[in-house]
Amino acid sequence: MSIGGSDLDKAISQLRACRPIPENQVRELCYKARELLIEEGNVVGVDAPVTICGDIHGQFHDLMELFRVGGDVPDTNYLFMGDFVDRGFYSLESFLLLLCLKVRHPDRITLIRGNHESRQITTVYGFYDECLRKYGSANVWRYCCEVFDYLALGALVTGAATSLPPTSAPLADNANPDSFPSDDSEIEVETLNAQGEIMYRYARNSDSQSSNPTSNPASSSPIAPTPSRTGAAGTGATSSANGSKSNDTGAVLCVHGGLSPLIDTIDKIRLLDRKQEVPHEGAMCDLLWSDPDEIDGWGLSPRGAGFLFGADIVKCFNHRNDLSLIARAHQLVMEGFKEMFDSTIVTVWSAPNYCYRCGNVAAILELGEDGSNAGFVRRSNGERGGGGGGWILGSNVDGNGNRRLSSVLGEGALGQRARDGPGRRYRVFEAAPQDSRGMPAKKPVADYFL
């Protein structure tokens, strides 16, 4: 049975209602998806505007909330950075819906691979068991795993705007308008809640001082702020270094995990043979498993796969490849997003109340379109300071009750941060009310390192 045309639209409607489609339709869908994906390179080119999303992990109702907050396909151009399956109760419906939307609107949704898009991982963390439970055999799991092998390893976003256009959205109840930049300032970062209300704004090239960083409580995020460093600007040895003057039109690289010591240029990612099960080591493994951390150079990862990498690695990679930002997922962030290393890398997490118990919020990152096609402005070499307290979530409250943005936007020595890069609008949202029906029991799995 073909799943083209009206059959595809019916399948989308059925999946939006959180009902699985017949096995023969899954087979046809996966076949068509592979035909599409095989034409994409290892690094997919994506034009702004685009909305970048992190891990979904089978939390179907929260995926529907994400579409409500960010706009539906094809009205919004989406880029999902992997980990569609495992952990949640509806991995099957979540992944098949995204796959249907990819086949139906191939130019409006981009899917790249996460470390959970793997045969070995899905047999441990829930997706395999879910397919058995819902179809009575492993056939659908095999069809999906064949699609996993064809997913791209990364995406390169070009044409993003440097600043955000002014928005007329109302202020959130707990926003602090006194901390907002003046009306004539160029906005670089804006955070909205699920109702579209403005929670925080940050102006480009702001010279405002945040309070002493030593008063900042430990963030609930597993990623710590950039440590203070000394050394030549642009090498990553200084906390105020912010890239190189050569990044006139820097793009945004999106990968699921992070960088690899075997990959110093994006062209080397393009040369990898991606059509295989995720290896246990090597460049492909690192791209899906690695994490940024407050270290110098490379370090061993506690996950047992991939590496830890520091600010110097990120800044040198961005400089060499003319990047203004690396966007990645892979790590739970209680605040939904977290920028590190002078905003040269950001973690985006899109599964609220992860595993239905973690209590975190989720976020998506919107990059606007630069109508002049000029790309990003020239980035500084660390001569400007910046900072600013502000509001993002209640978990970022200092000892005086002042809400802080530093734990998600990073912070350098003495509260000063040099910042530049694309205009970034984060939409933060909480978990959708879960339908208590159809919540199947799941056998417990090991604590999360994968």
Residues 351-392: tens digit of each pLDDT? 999 999 999 999 999 999 876 444 443 333 333 333 333 333
pLDDT for 408: 63
Reading the block at residue 308, the tokens are 């830890």
90, 142, 229, 330, 353 from 450: Cα distances, Å: 19, 21, 31, 9, 18
Q: Could you list the residue range(s) of the whole structural domain that residue 50 is in?
A: 1-169+201-434
C-beta separation of 38 from 151 below 8 A: no
Residue 416 lies in a domain: yes
The two three-digit tokens of residue 374, written as one number: 């000029």
- Domain contains 194: no
Contact residues for 206 (Cβ-Cβ < 8 A; gap 6+): 181, 185, 386, 387, 388, 419
* Average pLDDT, rounded, for the chain: 81
Report the pLDDT averaged over residues 390-403.
Answer: 40
CATH number at residue 122: 3.60.21.10
Measured CA distances, 128 to 117, 119, 407 (Å): 11, 8, 37
256 is catalytic: no
Selected catalytic residue, list 61, 116, 256, 330: 116
Q: Is residue 354 part of a domain?
A: yes
Give the residue ranges of DSSP H helices in 347-414: 406-409
Residue 192 is assigned to a structural domain of this protein: no
Distance CA 145, CA 131 (A): 12
Residue 195 lies in a domain: no
* Alpha-carbon gap, residue 289 to 256, rounded angstroms: 8
Domain count, the chain: 1
List strand residue ranges (DSSP E) for 2-64, in order.
43-47, 50-53
Half-sphere exposure at residue 242, Cβ-oriented, CA atoms within 13 angstroms: 24
pLDDT band at 226 (very low <50, low <70, confident <90, very high): very low
User: Which pTM does this prediction carry?
Assistant: 0.81
Q: Please indicate, yes or no, if residue 447 is contained in any of the structural domains.
A: no
Instruction: Kindly state whether residue 115 falls inside one of the protein's structural domains.
Output: yes
DSSP code of residue 160 = B
Cα 88 to Cα 263: distance, rounded to the nearest angstrom: 32
Q: What is the pLDDT of residues 289-309, one digit of tens each?
A: 999 999 999 999 999 999 999
185 domain residue, yes or no: no
Q: Above 90 in pLDDT, residue 264?
A: yes
